[in-house]
A and B are shown apart, each in its own frame.
Chain A
Amino acid sequence: EVHLVESGGGLVRPGGSLRLSCAASGFTFSSYSMSWFRQAPGKGLEWLSYIVISGGTTYYADSVKGRFTISRDGAENSLFLHMNSLRAEDTAVYYCARDHLGGVFDHWGQGTLVTVSS
């Protein structure tokens, strides 16, 4: 069974940094591209970033470009999101998800909450 488990969320001050992790199991991690999404409290879903199978190509939403970095470690079956220069508007539940078919996401983690506040 496919499992994605996010971790690393928490309370951080504006301007601070955080690294989110997504542990994958139940499938061949190295065969799938992956993405990060977020959902602010009471709001809709927002795609943030995408990394291809090899890790050699990445894409970002304008809202996080230059501040967030996506990466993956095939040996650890893990996906990461390095977040810098955090702002109050980055407060959200962050989800990782598996790419089923080029922008279609068939499995999602349970999410990890990031709160940016002084």
Chain B
Amino acid sequence: DIQMTQSPSSLSASIGARVSITCRASQSITRNLSWYQQKPGRAPKLLIYVASNLQSGVPSRFSGSGSGTDFTLTISGLQREDFATYYCQQSYSTPWTFGQGTKVEI
């Protein structure tokens, strides 16, 4: 199975800040990497797919980059509604696996 490791596990940031979360795969997954946002008590929401493609309706302050084993989710200008937990997920091979999550707090 492909292991996904996110860092940091949590971070504190202010409104307007630029935030980056990294995700590392245990082997190359080319660009088969998605990012999801989850708020407490809510279902995950797809933000980014194929490493850098912005899902329809997602604000442009979210961006993704990377390929192979190393990926980054960047939020440029953190908004109050962005405080949540973020997960990366590989779709290169089953079992599809997630990172452990990064909680973004004020």
Question: How many angstroms from the CA of A59 to the CA of B99 in the assembled complex?
Answer: 20
Which A residue sits closest to B97, measured CB to CB? A47
Verify B50–A62 contact, CB threshold 8 A: no
How many chain B residues sit at the interface, stated as a range, is 20 to 34
- Residue B87, interface by CB 8 Å: yes
Which B residue sits closest to A63, measured CB to CB? B95
Binary contact track A2-21/B, C-beta < 8 Å → 1, others 0: 00000000000000000000
Verify A45–B94 contact, CB threshold 8 A: no
Verify B98–A50 contact, CB threshold 8 A: no
- Residue A66, interface by CB 8 Å: no
* Given A44-B100, A46-B98, A47-B96, A109 contacting B49 (CB threshold 8 A): no
Enumerate chain B interface residues (CB-CB to A < 8 A): 32, 34, 36, 38, 42-46, 49-50, 55, 87, 89-92, 94-101
Enumerate chain A interface residues (CB-CB to B < 8 A): 44-47, 50, 59, 61-62, 95, 100-106, 108-111
Instruction: Show 30 A/B contacts (Cβ-Cβ < 8 Å), sorted by A.
Output: A44-B87, A44-B98, A44-B100, A44-B101, A45-B36, A45-B87, A45-B89, A45-B98, A46-B98, A47-B94, A47-B96, A47-B98, A50-B96, A59-B94, A100-B49, A102-B91, A103-B34, A103-B90, A103-B91, A103-B92, A103-B94, A104-B91, A105-B44, A105-B46, A106-B46, A106-B49, A108-B43, A108-B44, A110-B43, A111-B43
Closest 7 CB pairs of A and B: A103-B91, A108-B43, A47-B96, A104-B49, A45-B98, A61-B95, A106-B46
